[in-house]
């Protein structure tokens, strides 16, 4: 990271940012063509989980290349400047990571769906066999993760 003064070194803060974020963007690549897609997700501190339909562009890209990048941002707002367009900024936390995706099957699939729902709800959900069979579920094994925050949020570390 070029701006070490903005780096988040505290893994607990990175985990908190992830746990409070609603959307994760996955960066995928196939045949040199990038594809970025927002997904709902779950997180257990080591892996991200997401689900897909049985077929589609995400699956085509994942079949070609299971290495991904992911990006999350939280508490985003614009900091305007009254006199200079070049002085505008943003207040933001962000997390970027890299990992390897693999598909989950059977009990691991249901557990991941529970993790995804736990990210968005305090309720415990039951998944019927038919519902589970209709989706594909994936885990991103996180290889590398970094956090960054705007200078107005530096006191949070």
Q: How many CA atoms lie within 13 A of 83 on its CB side?
A: 0
Q: What is the mean pLDDT of the chain?
A: 91
Indicate whether 156 belongs to any domain: no
Give the C-alpha separation, 13 to 18, whole Å: 9
Quote the pLDDT of residue 1: 59
| 24-73: pLDDT as tens digits | 999 999 999 999 999 999 999 999 999 999 999 999 999 999 999 999 99
What's the gap between Cα 92 and its chain centre? Answer: 15
List beta partners, residue 55. none
Give the C-alpha separation, 61 to 80, whole Å: 39
Indicate whether 110 belongs to any domain: yes
What's the rounded mean pLDDT across residues 5-21? 90
Number of domains in the chain: 1
Smallest CA-to-CA distance from 8 within 72, 67, 68, 69 is with 72
Quote the pLDDT of residue 100: 98
What pairing do the DSSP bridges indicate for beta strands 89-104 and 67-79? antiparallel
Indicate whether 92 belongs to any domain: yes
Judge contact between 7 and 31, C-beta under 8 A.
no
pLDDT bin (cut points 50, 70, 90) of residue 151 is confident
Quote the pLDDT of residue 3: 66
The CATH number of whichever domain residue 65 belongs to comes to: 2.30.110.10
Quote the pLDDT of residue 27: 98
Domain that holds residue 101: 4-151
Quote the pLDDT of residue 130: 87
Say whether pTM exceeds 0.85: yes
Q: Which range (20-24, 73-77, 109-113) has the least confidence?
A: 73-77
């Amino acid at each position: 990271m070029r701006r070490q003064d903005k780096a988040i070194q505290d893994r607990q803060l990175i985990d908190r940012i992830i746990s409070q974020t609603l959307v994760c963007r996955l960066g995928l690549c196939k045949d040199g063509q990038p594809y970025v897609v927002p997904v709902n997700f779950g997180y257990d501190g080591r892996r991200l989980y997401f689900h897909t339909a049985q077929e589609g562009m995400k699956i085509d890209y994942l079949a070609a290349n299971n290495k991904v990048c992911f990006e999350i941002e939280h508490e985003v707002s614009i900091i305007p400047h009254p006199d200079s367009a070049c002085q505008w900024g943003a207040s933001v936390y962000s997390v970027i990571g890299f990992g390897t995706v693999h598909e989950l099957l059977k009990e691991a699939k249901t557990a991941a769906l529970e993790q995804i729902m736990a990210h968005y709800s305090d309720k415990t959900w039951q998944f019927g066999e038919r519902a589970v069979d209709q989706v594909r579920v994936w885990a991103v094994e996180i290889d590398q993760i970094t956090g960054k925050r705007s200078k107005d949020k530096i006191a949070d570390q």
